[in-house]
Structure 1
Amino acid sequence: MEDIGARILAGDHQVQYGQNQRTKIKALVVDDNMINQALHRTLLRNLGIENHVVGNGREAVDVHCSGRRFDLILMDLDMPVMNGIEATKKLRAMGIQSTIAGVSSRSVDENIQEFWEAGLDDYQQKPLNFPKLVSILQKVNHSV
């Protein structure tokens, strides 16, 4: 199998990550910051990953309640209405088995441990970049 991560890290940002799979990877970006939303959408789109954006954890839960499913959820920690910890707990309680990657500007904090315990599969400190996203996607690839 081709090492897509190595191609991306070598500068080939036109790789279609989901191309060799039966179904294309779908991602949900959950972040209240419009700049982070745009950055994450662009990174995902450049890898050929279909994505949808919501502004808080409550919207992430609601979009799943409406029947939408995603292979990857990029979950911010600090958001209004419902934070990433609470949203991750609710999604896991609903039986959502998507790869959930916490993405936050916090580096060391007791909330990070609580975030992991809520049901994260990965955690990356902001800003998200291609190497960090590739690391997350390799976990999705193994579970899809």
Structure 2
Amino acid sequence: MVSPLKALLVEDAQVDALVLSAMLRRFHCEVTIAKNGKEAVDLFLEGKKFDIVLCDDNMPIMTGPEAVEKIRAMGETDVKIIGLSANNNIQEVFMTSGVDVFVPKPLNIDVLGAMIQEVINNKNNAMV
């Protein structure tokens, strides 16, 4: 039995956070929520480990792309980071910051499921 994936959801909008965390739980993820990029970076600084990060772009204190850049700079290269935004113009900024993939909001449950399955497969292959 594989342990559930540890997911970090970086989202300041409460409704979006509720919807996305419910979606993640449907795939048996353990969900941690950070309300802005700084909270997300602080979790990594505390030594917390995540398998997948879903990160919104426009948040107070520190934006998603700024947080992703800092997380990658800490050497966190194994974690799959997904940039999320209703603003398609932010895709390039996210890609430059180090996300693995950019997904426009609203996030489709099947798209999320496929990405989670990919992370599970990679994790299982790493254990072999």
TM over 0.5: yes
How many residue pairs were aligned? 122
Matched to 2:16, the amino acid is N
For residues 1-144 of structure 1, the aligned pairs below 5 Å read: 20-21=1-2, 23-97=3-77, 98-107=79-88, 109=89, 111-144=90-123
Answer yes or no: is the 8 Å Cα contact 2:10–2:34 preserved in 1.
Answer: yes
Superposition deviation, residue 129 in structure 1: 2.7
Identity %: 35
Superposition deviation, residue 106 in structure 1: 1.2
Matched to 2:63, the amino acid is N
TM (norm. structure 1) is 0.79
Query: Considering only CA atoms, is the larger Rg found in Structure 1 or Structure 2?
Result: 1
Task: Identify if the C-alpha distance between structure 1 residues 139 and 117 changes in structure 2 by more than 3 Å, giving closer, same or farther.
Answer: farther
Please identify runs of 4+ aligned residues in structure 1 that moved more than 3 A.
Answer: none
Ranges in structure 1 where 5+ consecutive residues have no aligned partner: 1-19
Question: Aligned partners of 1:139 and 1:118: how far apart in 2?
Answer: 21
Offset from partner CA, 1:97-144 (integer Å, 9 cap, x none): 21000011012x1x3202101111111111123112113213323432
Matched to 1:135, the amino acid is A
Question: Aligned partners of 1:70 and 1:142: how far apart in 2?
Answer: 15
Matched to 2:76, the amino acid is I
Task: Note the aligned Cα RMSD (angstroms).
Answer: 1.3
- Of Structure 1 and Structure 2, the greater helix share is in 2
